[in-house]
Structure 1
């Protein structure tokens, strides 16, 4: 039995929102509250995060996808729209490869189908060393602010502090495991291209984690491509109302 901690709200078409690295399902609370008047919104914590356990500090995105597939079956969640932020987007693509047309539609939120390049792999390795040496609290305190454009960090300091506190609910094993999983993930651009359902990509022009150039390089694989001007890696925080409406309209498109 898949041991996944989650919350859900609403009824109707299932919409699965998958959090990113150094995040928990809590990041989607406002989205769930808003979207649940039309959809059944389900927000899981990935293994090793918050209330979802993990065994060891190694995992692959394929293993996470299998766990989520089992959990979806156990919960009788069928034909979901799956939307993932960053790491959640990588997992969305792994789930898509596994489940295919049993997924109604997908959305990538500041994410990519491309694999890590050599420089990014090296960064992941250094992050692993830092995590093992200094622990979760020190790592997330330095990591989270870098996801936001420098010129917005002062204005968004309360939101950044909340994100840091939420990230501290991640286990050390979980963060080490996902750092390795992201480093070792494969290119899933062909999986994306071959999928015939609706596909959304939300990109930030000031995203330092997934550059706008990388997003534009894969835009033709998506049915819906939206750029957020001046937004970094955390559009759900930086442009909350706009991105909630984008998700709502995409979900409406998928069911009509």
Structure 2
């Protein structure tokens, strides 16, 4: 069962959260965007309130679950924007649904598969979570997502994300680390997707390096780099991100 919020009227926009996050992370952004659009914020399967009997084993399964949810909710031709893991899911949906999506956006995310170094890091994280548990992992995982100069002003957001993350079941954490580690390269999907494409990158992002983001630029309808921002632009540069999102959505109707 997919837990979600729905606000506003107009063309549908789906916002997908990142790893160990939940739909609540979008509350400020969605409130603003709902003035002109019908905004859905989802908990991905296994996160937040989207708990079920079985967890998806890969991103393709996640995409199928979300496609079925769209059919159930009569959500047609949406724009889908995903943060980090949410961007990986958005690309899996683009591969699955193609022109049934009005547009896609990567928010601190990438169409590339993990390289060998990143896969090694994922494996170390799996070992850490198995040994020390979710709470200790989340406490060390969340703060570095923010650029150093933005941490103090975003302490409330950091605390919120730690609180959300600690509620994530251990099995969900481990399953999604493996799913991200083993995900296929979808750069060709990004290149060939016919609808409008948005990419928002942080120059100081340690999770999605800026060089990786820049490699997408030539195949992107609207490409934006956020100076002095890490992996959490919706908090670190909220007003700028809102400006970018509104402009992208207004141009697409």
TM-score by length of structure 1 reads 0.96
Q: 1:45 aligns with which of 43, 46, 59?
A: 43
Question: Is the counterpart of residue 11 in structure 1 residue 9 in structure 2?
Answer: yes
- Cα distance in 2, alignment partners of residues 208 and 66 from structure 1: 30
- How far apart, CA to CA, are the structure 2 residues paired with 1:168 and 1:14? 30
**209, 217, 220: which one aligns with 2:218:** 220
Residues 57/128 of structure 1: CA separation in 2 closer, same or farther (3 Å cut): farther
Instruction: Report 1:95-110 matches (<5 A).
Output: 95-110=93-108
Match of 2:162 among 156, 164, 170: 164
Q: What secondary structure sits across from 1:155 in the alignment?
A: helix
Whole-Å separation in 1 of the counterparts to 2:115 and 2:209: 13
Q: Tell whether the 8 Å contact from 2:84 to 2:107 is kept in structure 1 after alignment.
A: yes
Shift of 1:249: 1.2
In structure 2, the CA distance between the partners of 1:56 and 1:76, relative to structure 1 (3 Å rule), is closer
Partner of 1:253: 251
CA RMSD between the two structures: 1.1
CA contact (8 A) 1:57 1:176 kept: no
Q: 2:133 aligns with which of 118, 132, 135?
A: 135
2:21·2:48 contact (CA, 8 Å) conserved in 1? no
- Aligned partner of 1:209 in structure 2 is 207
Aligned-pair CA distance for 1:54: 4.3
Partner of 1:115: 113
Structure-2-length-normalised TM-score: 0.97
Q: Distance in 1 between matches of 2:124 and 2:56?
A: 16
Mark the runs of 5 or more structure 1 residues left unpaired by the alignment. none
Moved over 3 A (4+): 54-58
Rounded Cα–Cα distance in structure 1 between residues aligned with 2:154 and 2:141: 15
* Counterparts in 2 of 1:77 and 1:56: CA distance versus 1, 3 Å: closer
CA contact (8 A) 2:45 2:56 kept: no
Contact 1:58–1:180 (8 Å) recurs in 2: no
User: What is the CA distance between 1:55 and its match in structure 2?
Assistant: 4.4
Q: Which runs of 5+ in 2 are unaligned?
A: none
The size of the alignment, in residue pairs, is 253
What SS does the corresponding residue of 1:98 show, helix, strand or coil?
helix
User: SS of 1:82's equivalent?
Assistant: strand
SS of 1:27's partner is helix
- 2:187 maps to 189
Matched, 1:88 2:94: no
| Match status 1:232 vs 2:234 | no
